[in-house]
Structure 1
Amino acid sequence: MRVYLDHNATAPLRPEAKAAMIAAMEIVGNPSSVHAEGRAAKGLMEKARAEIAAAFGADGADVVFTSGATEAAALALQGRDLHAGDIEHDAVSAWVTSDLPVDGNGQVSVKDPAKTALQLANSETGIVQTLPDGLLLSDMTQGFGKLPVAFNWSGATMALVSAHKLGGPKGIGALVVKRGTDIPAQLLGGGQEMGRRAGTENLIGMAGFAAAATAAAKDLADGVWERVANLRDLLEEALAAEAKDTIFVGKGEKRLPNTTCIATPGWKGETQVMQMDLAGFAISAGSACSSGKVRASRVLKAMGYDDATAASAIRVSLGPDTTEQDVLGFAESWLTRMRKHRDRTLKGAA
């Protein structure tokens, strides 16, 4: 049996989301049509919008549906001169100047919030930022559903969210904006989404997104992520007991409850991912492959880690269904492979 420990990449589809999507498939009408079928579709769409706003603490804000957080970032950031630290997701960093200082604890020094993009939580390290009041944009994709966050109290003017990070379907997300914020449309046509994003709406995706957001909010209120945080700590303790040279990035900082970033200098992250995949565990590397070339994690490099350490990082991200058996099984399997790596390294140095 395989163990899925890559929830920050995408979370398994929640049964509530699947059921809502199947029900939405029965809705025939186009939300822009004025007949009864169209009105039924529009009613379902606006119900989904309201449920997402409620789960996100964004009542009174505009929820603009997009194909995901990447499109939402492009919609929000086009034509703007913003600054950020070099820890943002590529969807944001592609549009901003990454020149804000990042300290060794992963915290970004913000100079002018109104000209800044700052993520709520980092997908690789799990480190959480304190958002300054008046911040123009925050990528809340990883934090939404895992942290007690309310858009209306966040201090941000705009936020990015995505359904598949919290158990909704892939291919649907939203840009959440304070009412009255100027958002020039990228996609022109029929004027859907309050004139900000033209095109026939993804009603099935919206229904799944709303159901997942509502279920995620309930998990948060029920303390599910506190249990997950305890499992993450158990995992780190099990690894640290033997892996003396391993670095747990961000340990001691406020982090996502499910995320641990593990760096073992000299042992490539890609190698670990492949070995653990063969052992039945799905995890991610803290480095990325671009055009066939492996590059060290720029997030860790921005925090001051050297190339060897940044290239050795892996990310283990747990979910609501993760068990103690899962994390202890991973720890045992990883430590077995760590010992073999250590032995090979010692023999090579002899």
Structure 2
Amino acid sequence: MKAIVLVLSGLFLFQLHCFGQAVELCQGAYFTEEQGREFLEKHKVTSKLAWETRAAQIRKQIREGMDLQTLPPKPTSKPIVHSRKEMDGYSIESVAFESMPGIYVTGNLYRPLKKQKSYAGILAPHGHGENPHGRFREQTQKRCATLARMGAIVFVWDMIGQGDARQCEHKMPKALKLQTINSIRSLDYLLSIPGVDPDRIAVTGESGGGTQTFLLAALDDRVKVSVPVVMVSAYFFGGCVCESGLPIHKKGDYQTNNVEIAALAAPRPMILISDGGDWTKNTPEVEYPFIKNIYSLYGKTNQLEAVHLADEKHDFGPSKRKAMYAFMAKHLRLDLKSVTDAQGNIDETPAKVLSQKELEVFNEANPRPANAVMGDDAVMKLL
């Protein structure tokens, strides 16, 4: 009887722990629009010291909420790089490397064909989307190729469970932790490429890739420029476990939102790109003024910009890419004229959209390494 009571007590405590963690998850439209607005008004700071105290608290809870106070050991294996293709002004290679022992980040590296003394490096996380997923989507390929034609080395990689990253399901419980580790290791990889200038490093992505953008900029000051697209919202916290599936926004009486997290990039250059068809519809009146106040505490409001496209919807479409290209050119010293036509319009036509098969990393000729950890349970155990 005593043993049964102990087992039942243990089960109760386990359920209580899980329930408690679930209560502390802020998912989807966790706030109403008015609650989001009121939260930012309540947390407006008036001194640099007050903000940096708050910023330290926010970073601490992000790391603790992910159980990522320290990074796992960095693997020493060499990256896998193959299938180089020369295109119109740029090249593409298929790439894989370990972010943890047995976990492979998979993606494509875009390089300018024109030789330079040094190169800006740009990370390009992608958002959730219909087939073709992620890095194979037209909008993703066009932005990577165009940035390479402007003179940057660009790396785009798969969300877990998508593309070649099929070692676990996308919605496994610790997706947020693994994707953050993959983002940091992707930055490590980009900086390991000869000629990449560590003072000219940027990250830009849309939707779930926008979440990855502002989380990486918040946690890693090696990111010098950030462009989160259609994701910085006062009331929406991300609808997927890879964005809000761990308690990074709330712990007991502590609460933050994605606007404060995005503001952790201050005073580094950042542009908010938003639209009228999703949860960023209030950016000009709500999110942008809050973040601008943070930049003003550093005397750096000139480093923050915002472009709002009221008639557009949730994507990384041509006009959003146009705003991003100009900002990257300005702050990374890229050649915008190389992708501009005689009328001054961005010309993306040389950026050829390839098939998934042409961009794949693992295939019959290049199989997934034998040490790859497979399945949700095995990956969760590793994490």
TM over 0.5: no
| TM norm structure 2 | 0.26
Q: TM-score, normalised by structure 1?
A: 0.28
